[in-house]
């Protein structure tokens, strides 16, 4: 994140450039709520935090509708989404071209202990950091076997099981 001491001289040097201090999706402050993030990022194609900021959304913070609205148009996603013990039934990111976790070594998508979860939509052409465990889905008995197979083909490093044996 650029500081005002860096931005001001850049603005002076390049008067036609648009240089801002905005955080994720145009939020102009460093501390913001998940509701503010969802409102700001809905309909955005890029969700990427400034350096040093970690974006994590958990299922106890959002509804299915908010999650759908947030991810409907996203093509680049750099955050972690954790859905645990919730009534969330799906995660749809139909336009995704690139996904990155919020922190190295942490899955970008974690879905755990969700009896009702039954749909994950990510294009098979989406890219992710090589060798990363980008998705971890365990104990989701309603997730179809075809979806599990598709995810495993797309991401051999990902952990995806539908039952309670893991």
Q: Whole domain around residue 64: which residue ranges?
A: 4-160
- The answer to whether position 165 is within a domain reads no
CB proximity list for 157: less than 8 A, separation 6 or greater? 131, 132, 133, 134
- The answer to whether position 122 is within a domain reads yes
- The answer to whether position 166 is within a domain reads no
- CATH number where 67 lies: 3.80.20
pLDDT tens by residue, 13-33: 877 776 655 556 877 676 778
User: Which residues of the chain are under the pLDDT cut of 70?
Assistant: 1-8, 18-24, 28, 30, 162, 164-166
* 142/163 Cα distance (integer angstroms): 9
- The answer to whether position 133 is within a domain reads yes
Total number of domains constituting the chain: 1
- The answer to whether position 59 is within a domain reads yes
6 token code pair:
């860096």
Q: Could you tell me the pTM of the whole model?
A: 0.83
Q: Which of 135, 134, 137, 94 is nearest to 115 (CA)?
A: 137
């Amino acid at each position: 994140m650029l500081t005002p001491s860096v931005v001001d001289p850049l603005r002076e040097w390049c008067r036609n450039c648009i240089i801002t201090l905005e955080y994720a999706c145009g939020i102009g402050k460093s501390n913001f709520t998940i509701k503010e993030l969802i409102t700001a990022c809905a309909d955005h194609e890029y969700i990427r935090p400034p350096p040093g900021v970690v974006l994590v959304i958990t299922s106890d913070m959002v509804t299915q509708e908010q999650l759908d609205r947030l991810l409907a148009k996203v093509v680049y996603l750099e955050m972690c989404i954790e859905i645990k013990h919730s009534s969330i039934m799906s995660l749809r990111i139909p336009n995704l071209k690139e996904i990155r976790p919020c922190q190295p070594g942490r899955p970008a998508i974690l879905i755990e202990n969700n009896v009702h979860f039954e749909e994950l939509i990510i294009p098979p052409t989406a890219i992710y950091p090589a060798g990363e465990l980008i998705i971890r889905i365990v104990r989701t008995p309603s997730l179809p076997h075809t979806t599990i197979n598709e995810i495993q083909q797309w991401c051999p490093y990902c952990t995806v099981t539908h039952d309670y044996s893991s």
